[in-house]
Structure 1
Amino acid sequence: MRRIVGAVFQSLDGVMQAPGGTTEDPTGGFDQGGWQFKFPDPAADETMGPLLDGEYDLLLGRRTYDIFAAFWPYVEGDEAPVGRAFDRAGKYVLTHGDQPLEWENSHRLTSIDDVAALKASDGPELRIWGSSTIYPGLLKAGLLDRLVLMTYPLTLGKGKRLFGDGTPPGALKMVDHTVTPAGTVVATYEPAGPIPATAPHQPSPATSDREAERQRKMQDGNW
């Protein structure tokens, strides 16, 4: 069985859209593309080393796949080794569309059930970059093994978020963390099951007539 590990660059308000460049992903009118490089953090960059080393395959959403396929096979200079590693890796793309996947070693997945079957197969670790839309389904199906969040000290206000629509309630356990001198929080989490059950909620006794009225309005849906 394979492990599935996600790595995410995000802002303090949870936006993960287009950290790498102004033209990376402007969908939804996002105009802060390339924000990560406006806040350079060498210590945070060093934490990425283990996520780019060794043998692995990639699990990607369609937009991230398109971004990577147009960049990494052609990159030169210091980033060329990453490009070669991504070329070698299997690229598993979770998509409802039927557009061709022309990057070498690319494979189409059409459902979370396909991801579950892939996870159950033999092979190297599956690593996710970007791909915000696939996280809710992975969490709901219990398929995500580890999540590395690199949270930069800025807010972006709008944009795609890691925990978007469809994210289920659940607990996460922090297994590692560091704070860089520049203020980036690098935290590693593993799913820790459902949120613990509690006794049925009982309204607190009203401490004043005003509080009693407020509680009445809440019960009536008028607060």
Structure 2
Amino acid sequence: MRKVIASTFLSLDGVMQAPGGPSEDPTGGFRFGGWFTSYFDELLGQAVDKVMADPFDLLLGRKTYEIFAAHWPFIDPDAEYSEITRKFAACRKYVAASPDQPLTWQNSVNLGSNPVSAVERLKREDGPNLLIQGSGQFAQALLAADLIDEITVMVAPVLLGRGKRLFGDSTAPSGFELVDHAVSTTGVTIGRYCRGGEIQTGSFAMPEPSQAERDRQARWAREG
């Protein structure tokens, strides 16, 4: 059984779009491409290395695949980020793309007409874990299908207002447990979360609600 592991950079308000540069993804008029670069430090580099420490295959949405395929194959494998370059080159890349899209990066596989069902099948197979990078729309589809087992988020102290997000209204409710955390010198909070069972609920309400509270509940029930 393989795990699906998500890892992403986020703003405080949950935006994940174009953290690495102005030309990375300006779709929708996004103005802040490269917003994460000034927060990077040695601790964040170690956190990224930790995400990729174990063998993995990549899960990529179409746009993230195009960004990666235009970048990583052209990086000198002996230069900076050489370890990531070699790992990305060697692993299999499973791509949520249209059937007719050319996949030029070596070891790339099209997930076909139903990428979510394809990931369900991949999870049941033997092999390395499946690491999803970026790919917000694809990640949201996997979250809606309750297929993501582990999430690492690196949250920068910035509000971006608008842009593509990791979590949407269709995310399947699920409990997670914080298993590792750190704070960078630049104020980025790094959290690694694994499956933690069902959501636990409780109540801070008074044992006997006031008449005002009963009236409020009745009014909100009528308002729907």
TM class by shorter-chain length?
0.7 to 0.9
Shift of 1:206: 4.4
1:13-66 CA deviation, whole Å, 9 max, x = no partner? 111111111111111111111111122322222211122334321111111111
Residue 57 of structure 1 aligns with which residue? 57
Partner SS, residue 46 of structure 1: helix
Letter in 2 for 1:151: V
Check whether the contact 1:135–1:167 (CA below 8 A) recurs between aligned residues: no
Equivalenced residues, count? 219
- Identify unmatched segments of 5+ residues in structure 2: none
Give the partner amino acid of 2:180.
Answer: D
Structure 1 residue 93 displacement after superposition: 0.8
SS in structure 1 at match of 2:197: coil
Does the CA-based 8 Å contact 1:14-1:162 persist in structure 2?
Answer: yes
**Structure 1 residues 97 and 218: alpha-carbon distance in aligned structure 2, compared to 1, 3 A threshold:** farther
Aligned residues with identical type, % of pairs: 42
Q: CA RMSD of the aligned region, Å? A: 2.5
Correspondence 1:1-223 to 2 at 5 A: 1-76=1-76, 77-96=79-98, 98-109=100-111, 110-196=114-200, 205-208=209-212, 214-221=216-223
What is the CA–CA distance in structure 2 between the aligned matches of 1:198 and 1:183, rounded to whole Å? 32
- What is the TM-score of this pair, normalised by structure 1? 0.87
SS at match of 1:10: strand
C-alpha distance in 2 between matches for 1:102 and 1:10: 29
CA contact (8 A) 2:145 2:172 kept: no
**C-alpha separation in 2, matches of 1:125 and 1:28:** 32
